[in-house]
Structure 1
Amino acid sequence: MSVPGRTYIGNPYWKYFCEAFDAIGVDVVPVRSADTMLLRFDVLHMHFPDHKVAEHPLPKALVLAASFLAFLGLVRLFGKKIVWTVHDVTPFKTRHRWLLMPYLAWVRRLTSGYVFMNRSSREQFFKAYPDQAAKPSCLVGHGVFPTTRVSPERRQILRQEMHKGEAFIIGYLGDLKPYKNVDALRHLPKTDGRGRPVVLVVAGRADPLMDADALEASLDAAGRERMHRIDHRLDDAEMEELIGTVDAVFLPYLIGSNSGFSILVLSAGGRLLTSDLPMFTDLEEQFGAPWVYSSALDALSLTQAVDRVSTHDVTPEEEGRRDAALAALSFEACGRETLEFYRSLGAPG
């Protein structure tokens, strides 16, 4: 049983997560079903249990927290296993903190074992909660979403719309949120390591939590004269086209434990210029140049990073190495690794 389940709206991760288990012969019990009510499953695999509290008004959060903890207690009482994939070591949303923190403490107490998406998040989690370190855990990377890579002809058309002539184009893509650190755009250099102008593509809508005046000031400081702005939420096709069109996607995040978007960029044929958060340095170790370049976010460090990525011409051998690493992160491959972890906990199968 997966919580959320395959019908969750807003993120395709759980659909592919459940389909991966289908492909390897594992039945995934629907969340709202008689099988769930009668506990006809062996493992409850949960993601983002904090959302039960942090994404709802207080009255609903109280009911959801109490009912979910009661359900977890029943699951353990009847000898089932509870597995938690820790997407974020520290919840992004801490609404109703006085309720959220003790609720999560009970969730941890009831958890049988943990799945982490990278080495650094496991280290951070067990450092924050040393009482959990003795519990079983495993590393299973973020699954690779299916993508369509832009054709060379379409790429050339889009690049000419962004800038006439030669340029090194950096994309800052997706919804603009505070933790994504739009202010770091101002520190990107004006030219790359080959003397070409650096053009910025800022594509996505502003999150309601963003201060509108501060956002406009950050974009002004980055240089409107070198910016191609797309001011709406990108659909999947637009996002994949832009990833494949720009020369690098800039992720100057301030916080985070794993980034599914970074895997999407790589699977769509893109290259990454990131902050030096541990989740990105883990990814840099995994994929290496010319695919991932982590950096401090001051002007000198970013200039050096842009010089490195802009002067490295990708070879067919490097593309093959990237594709092999992505194949190892297919949802089916991740499903098989997760199934082995279930078995190590004593679950049937």
Structure 2
Amino acid sequence: MSARVPGALRVEAEPAFRTAHANPYNANLARSLQREGVDVRDLSYLRLLVRRTDIVHLHWPELTFLSGHRAWRMRARLALFFTFLRIARLRGTRLVWTVHNVEPHERRATPALHARYRRLLLGNVDGILALTEEGVDAARTGHPELRDIPAFVTPHGHYRDDYDFGATRAEAREQLGLRRDATVIASVGMIRPYKNIPRLLSVVRALDDPTLQIAIAGRASSPELARELAEAAERDPRVVLATGFQPDDRLARWLRAADLVVLPYTRIQNSGSAILALSADRPVLVPAIGAMRELAALVGDDWVRCYEGELDAATLADAIAWAGRGSGARSERPDRPDLSELDWPRIAGLTLDAYRAVLHGPSVAGRPPGAAHREPVGSR
């Protein structure tokens, strides 16, 4: 962590570094901002109360305030944070929200408590960040209260420096016990209902291809989902199932072993899993929803293939051919996708520009109605 710079912009981020073991995204952003001279720390309610803070930056606030199963704790978090924020505003603090998802994937709070959370959050946001242009539009469509809030695009950075992607395809398969000559498709990461993995296994069963192997690697979010996947794997010997926590090195090997990464979401706004696969230099099949078309346009259709509707056998078979098995496409595809637009120094610069614009504009309490706009934020 960099040394504190006197007079530096002070940011309390939730989270900044504390979730690095689960997802390096926030820590990468925080470290890159520190290199720009920003004083970034994980959110402390005490510091918010007693010291000058320029920006409070929230990511996934529903996890911050509405996690767990005890409603009284959720209410206490909301009361403490927004009370302290009100005090911090007297010193000029502004609240910024990166809208990763318009709505949470899983909702645990009661409708009344969720409505209170939503009212407090949307009534206090001074600026929104989204990972794509489509994300800005989705945020404002899903939350009309944000139509007058300045918005900025700060992309999701790559993971090339966070994992060891040095293994060759053959080496990774040998280490994981996969067939060297198989066509391997993979879906990697935390397995939740919206990721639609049972559907993927059903589609694979419809493909009469003995050379195919499918690897599902990640921890299932519930015992019921884990049992469903295990039963599906028993019906098809081509399925390789690793439904447990995957350390970083093993996660990287699953990706490097694959010919194609398939992410058949039923709903999604952004996909860190897709960017992780691209960081491992693997082509990706995703539905044409959320920001997936924008990702394909950014990285190129050699690397991201979008499909309409629900995943079916014909779509998957076409994608396997596109990924390079038997089509000659692999020899035409560059060895690595161009992820320069997703470099962390560039993203830190865009984020810092957004912070400064929010600080120089009116606070949410003083913004006149009807002032909707999107700030132009160029690359640095």
**TM-score normalised by the shorter chain: which range applies?**
0.7 to 0.9
Whole-angstrom CA distance in 1 between matches of 2:228 and 2:35: 47
Which one has the bigger helix percentage? 1
Verify the 8 A CA contact 2:99 2:129 in the aligned structure 1. Answer: yes
Aligned residues: 338
1:30, CA displacement in angstroms? 4.7
Verify the 8 A CA contact 1:175 1:206 in the aligned structure 2. Answer: yes
1:120 aligns with 2:134: yes
Q: How does 1:69-218 map to 2 (within 5 A)?
A: 69-96=82-109, 97-145=111-159, 146=161, 147-152=163-168, 154-155=171-172, 157-158=174-175, 161-163=177-179, 166-185=181-200, 186-188=202-204, 190=207, 197-208=211-222, 210-218=224-232
Residues 153-207 of structure 1: CA distance to partner in whole angstroms, max 9, x if unpaired?
6236347x3125x321101222322111112222136367xxx822111223322
Verify the 8 A CA contact 2:14 2:42 in the aligned structure 1. Answer: no
- The one-letter code sitting in structure 1 at the alignment partner of 2:351 is T
Aligned CA distance change for structure 1 residues 191 and 158 (closer, same or farther; 3 Å): farther
Verify the 8 A CA contact 1:142 1:260 in the aligned structure 2. Answer: yes
**Structure 2 partner of 1:66:** 79
Task: Tell me the C-alpha RMSD between the 2 structures.
Answer: 2.5
**Structure 1 partner of 2:329:** 313
Verify the 8 A CA contact 1:253 1:274 in the aligned structure 2. Answer: yes
1:114, CA displacement in angstroms? 0.4
1:339, CA displacement in angstroms? 0.5
Whole-angstrom CA distance in 1 between matches of 2:119 and 2:278: 35
1:347, CA displacement in angstroms? 4.7
Whole-angstrom CA distance in 2 between matches of 1:208 and 1:346: 42
1:101, CA displacement in angstroms? 2.2
What secondary structure, in the 3-state scheme, does the structure 1 residue paired with 2:53 have?
A: coil
What secondary structure, in the 3-state scheme, does the structure 2 residue paired with 1:228 have?
A: strand
Long gaps (5+) in structure 1 = none
1:123, CA displacement in angstroms? 1.5
Verify the 8 A CA contact 1:73 1:110 in the aligned structure 2. Answer: no
Match of 1:275 among 287, 291, 296: 287
**Structure 1 partner of 2:273:** 261
**Structure 2 partner of 1:14:** 26
Whole-angstrom CA distance in 1 between matches of 2:322 and 2:312: 16
- The one-letter code sitting in structure 1 at the alignment partner of 2:166 is V
Match of 2:16 among 1, 5, 12: 5
Aligned CA distance change for structure 1 residues 259 and 163 (closer, same or farther; 3 Å): same
Mean CA deviation greater in 272-281 or 235-244: 272-281
Verify the 8 A CA contact 1:249 1:271 in the aligned structure 2. Answer: yes
Residues 213-236 of structure 1: CA distance to partner in whole angstroms, max 9, x if unpaired?
43334435xx52212233432110
Aligned CA distance change for structure 1 residues 33 and 59 (closer, same or farther; 3 Å): closer
**TM-score, normalising length: structure 1:** 0.87
Q: How does 1:223-234 map to 2 (within 5 A)?
A: 224-234=236-246
**Structure 1 partner of 2:67:** 55
Aligned CA distance change for structure 1 residues 131 and 228 (closer, same or farther; 3 Å): closer
**TM-score, normalising length: structure 2:** 0.81
Aligned CA distance change for structure 1 residues 155 and 216 (closer, same or farther; 3 Å): closer
